[in-house]
Amino acid sequence: MCVGEYNSGRLSDPVTLPKRYQFRADDLEPRFGFFPRTNAVDISDLAQSSGEWLRGGGPESDIVISSRIRLARNLAEYPFVNQAGPAERHEIESTLEQAITGIRKPKLEYFSVDDFSSLDRQFLVERQLISREHAEGEGARGVAIDASERISLMVNEEDHLRIQVMHSGLDLDAAWKEIDKIDNEIERHVTYAFDQRLGYLTACPTNAGTGMRVSVMLHLPAVALTEQVEKIFRSLQKINVAVRGLYGEGSQPAGDFYQISNQITLGRDEANLIGTVADVVPTIIQYERKARAYLQEEKREVLHDRISRAYGILRNAQTITSEETMHYLSRVRMGINMGLIKDLQIPTVNELFIYTQPAHLQKMSGSEMNSANRNIERARYLRDNLNGGEAPSGNGGDLI
Amino acid sequence: MKCQYCERTATLHITELTDGQVKELHLCKEHAHEYLSQADAGVPQPTSSASSLAHHLTVGNTAEDLARLDQKVCPICGISFYEFRNSGRLGCPNDYTCFQQELEGLLLNIHGETSHVGKLPGRGATDLAEHTRLIQMRRQLKEAVSEEDYELASKLRDEIRDLRSEFREGRPTESEPKAKKPRKRQAPRPKPPADEGSQD
């Protein structure tokens, strides 16, 4: 969840990354490699890629951005996180850190979240590797990440352990296989809170049973443009599938990204829950395709105009907010998928959604910026990456 | 437009669909943040947030019933049912046993079921009460230290250490044959409610 410029004014902390995670502008390799290659072997693994799910491959990836599965687990011998004292939280963390770093494959790098500056925590939120709650929490807590950024494990979030696996496109079965294996590996070293009757026990009863949340992130610009979102959501509710905008201010989520996920976690097995979500995806894809066909056939000029204007603004703006960027990027993304924009690739646009967010911009430029400067930097970044126009010559500050 | 929870201007407008109902939210920056921070990183929150949990629980109970329920306390972690109702978060695994009756309706309401089907831990279910006893012992240890009863404290410390190493030793032999393949199973029969009193 991300709301436009949510973090403005909260970035007073100095950038104090742990050494192994430190960022320098010249570490960018290729364009978006955030993790320095010079350190230990496992860190260089992290540098290999950045957010595999962003690359935009995978089945149905023009509409389905990513498939994600999350498992909630707790240790039997400790109170849940909200009732655990500082000493207990430390014990929980070190127990799980040992179990996590003991996994040989995939190799996971463990970080203490408290060691990160607020900017770095924000960065991990934008990257979808930790939750906002985890970023803003207090006390001993951590995150483990694999080189491809497909896997992340949060320690001492709402539950002792939250395992997350994210795949590009519609690929829930592969995500399940991967997460199931990690869960088994960890469980060799710890005793989970598990009840014969209720299954895996969680801090909130909404997660009990399987502890599993399956979600698919969809890009539905045409459904949104043709105002069919509510209709679809209402029918999903009836079959216990929840829908939520990914980024959002206003009633229409910025960027037209929607997450659908299972509401029920108890009384059905994992395959069934995955099926509940996976089964509705083709229908929603159909809706989006039909809406696109309608726009193309019936509203061709209007559609073409909106997409071209969006592209034009992104390539030429001199200052632009996060929300506006998402709004236009969404149209451009649709334009590429509909063949109306030919000189731009989907992975580039997918990345721009993430890299134009506040913490990413600041980390890439290597300095902290206020909201106004971020908007200028964001516009510059977009022009650079979309082969757009130049910055105003002379002193741009004299505009007003 | 004003925020629906305070006097500030609403800057964020959310449309939520809950149980087929469209819910409009108009919130100021702070309340919006509070509202949104309840969610996982991008993962949709189940519609049963803490507040609607509390709502589920109050349905069908008289004020006296509620007051009585609220006072029930878990002997292991020490939270009252009232605290759970307020926060929407339980205090320890034993709460599921201790508040079993109270939670039954809630679980049914959220999931439509009250019995787990699906993955089992690799080594099968361990005796949960054996493990949650450690939670209680650590709490007693903390109390003993704050009351300067060092004799009791050192006794508890030894017991905790022994119990933990007992679990650790039991682990490899237990887990080796079973860890490889998680088994599936049918819905189990509900077990009889555990005797909460025995742990105190």
Domains parsed from chain A with CATH numbers:
19-26+40-291 (3.30.590.10), 299-387 (no CATH)
Are the beta carbons of B40 and A243 separated by less than 8 Å?
Answer: no
Reading the block at residue A1, the tokens are: 């969840």
CA distance A86 to B146: 15
CA–chain centroid gap for A119, Å, is: 16
Reading the block at residue A139, the tokens are: 């006390």
Weakest mean pLDDT among B58-62, B77-81, B191-195: B191-195
Are A149 and A36 within 8 A, CB to CB?
A: no
pLDDT in tens, A169-218: 899 999 999 999 999 999 999 999 999 999 999 999 999 999 999 999 99
What ipTM score was computed for the predicted complex, to two decimals? 0.79
- pTM (2 d.p.): 0.76
CA distance B10 to B25: 9
- Which one of A260, A261, A265 has the shortest CB-CB distance to B111? A265
- Taking contacts as CB-CB distances below 8 angstroms, the residues of chain B near A77 are 131-132, 134-135, 164, 167
Are the beta carbons of A261 and B114 separated by less than 8 Å?
Answer: no
Query: At CB < 8 A and 24+ separation, what contacts does A377-384 make?
Result: A378/A319, A378/A320, A378/A321, A378/A322, A378/A325, A379/A317, A379/A318, A379/A319, A379/A320, A381/A355, A381/A356, A382/A314, A382/A315, A382/A317, A382/A320, A382/A325, A382/A352, A382/A356, A383/A315, A383/A316, A383/A317
CA distance A52 to A149: 6
In this prediction, residue A234 carries a pLDDT of: 83
pLDDT in tens, A115-151: 998 999 999 998 889 999 999 999 999 999 998 889 9
- Which one of A70, A78, A260 has the shortest CB-CB distance to B40? A70
- Taking contacts as CB-CB distances below 8 angstroms, the residues of chain B near A265 are 111
Are the beta carbons of A203 and B44 separated by less than 8 Å?
Answer: no
> Model confidence at A51, in pLDDT bands (50, 70, 90)?
low
Are the beta carbons of A197 and B121 separated by less than 8 Å?
Answer: no
- Which one of B77, B116, B142 has the shortest CB-CB distance to A197? B116
> Model confidence at A54, in pLDDT bands (50, 70, 90)?
low
- Taking contacts as CB-CB distances below 8 angstroms, the residues of chain A near B111 are 208-209, 264-267
Are the beta carbons of B39 and A68 separated by less than 8 Å?
Answer: no
Q: What is the mean pLDDT of chain B?
A: 74
> For an interface test with B, which of A92, A204, A228, A272 has the most B Cβ atoms less than 10 Å from its Cβ?
A204
- Taking contacts as CB-CB distances below 8 angstroms, the residues of chain A near B121 are 187, 191-192, 194
- Scored b (16 or more CB within 10 A) or e, A307-345 reads beebbebbbebebbbbbbbbbbbbbbbbbbbbebbeebe
Q: Percent of chain A beyond pLDDT 70? A: 81
For A165, name the nearest residue in chain B, comparing CA atoms only.
B43
Reading the block at residue B60, the tokens are: 């069908």
pLDDT in tens, A302-337: 999 999 999 999 999 999 999 999 999 999 999 999
Are the beta carbons of B14 and A3 separated by less than 8 Å?
Answer: no
pLDDT in tens, A233-260: 888 888 889 888 877 544 567 889 999 9
CA distance A49 to A30: 9
In this prediction, residue A319 carries a pLDDT of: 97
Are A254 and A221 within 8 A, CB to CB?
A: no
With a CB-CB cutoff of 8 Å, which residues 144-163 of chain B face chain A? Answer: none
With a CB-CB cutoff of 8 Å, which residues 121-180 of chain A face chain B? Answer: 125, 128-134, 136, 158, 162, 180
In this prediction, residue A90 carries a pLDDT of: 96
- Taking contacts as CB-CB distances below 8 angstroms, the residues of chain A near B26 are none
**Any CB–CB contact under 8 A between B22 and chain A?**
yes
> Model confidence at B180, in pLDDT bands (50, 70, 90)?
very low
- Taking contacts as CB-CB distances below 8 angstroms, the residues of chain A near B19 are 237
**Any CB–CB contact under 8 A between A198 and chain B?**
yes
pLDDT of A364 over the 50 cut:
yes
> Model confidence at A55, in pLDDT bands (50, 70, 90)?
low
- Taking contacts as CB-CB distances below 8 angstroms, the residues of chain A near B45 are 242, 244
With a CB-CB cutoff of 8 Å, which residues 227-286 of chain A face chain B? Answer: 230, 233-234, 237-238, 240, 242-244, 246, 248-251, 259-261, 263-270, 272
CA distance A155 to chain B (A): 14
**Any CB–CB contact under 8 A between B193 and chain A?**
no
**Any CB–CB contact under 8 A between A54 and chain B?**
no
pLDDT of A398 over the 90 cut:
no
**Any CB–CB contact under 8 A between B118 and chain A?**
yes
Weakest mean pLDDT among A47-61, A77-91, A341-355, B139-153: A47-61
Are the beta carbons of A197 and B47 separated by less than 8 Å?
Answer: no
Using CA atoms, how far residue B114 sits from A130, A207, B199, in Å, is 30, 12, 24
- Taking contacts as CB-CB distances below 8 angstroms, the residues of chain A near B125 are 194-196
CB burial class (10 A; 0-12, 13-18, 19+) of residue A31? exposed
> For an interface test with A, which of B12, B100, B116 has the most A Cβ atoms less than 10 Å from its Cβ?
B116
Are the beta carbons of B96 and A201 separated by less than 8 Å?
Answer: yes
CA distance A194 to B149: 34
> For an interface test with B, which of A127, A206, A215 has the most B Cβ atoms less than 10 Å from its Cβ?
A206
pLDDT in tens, A207-235: 999 999 999 999 999 998 888 888 888 88
pLDDT of A389 over the 90 cut:
no
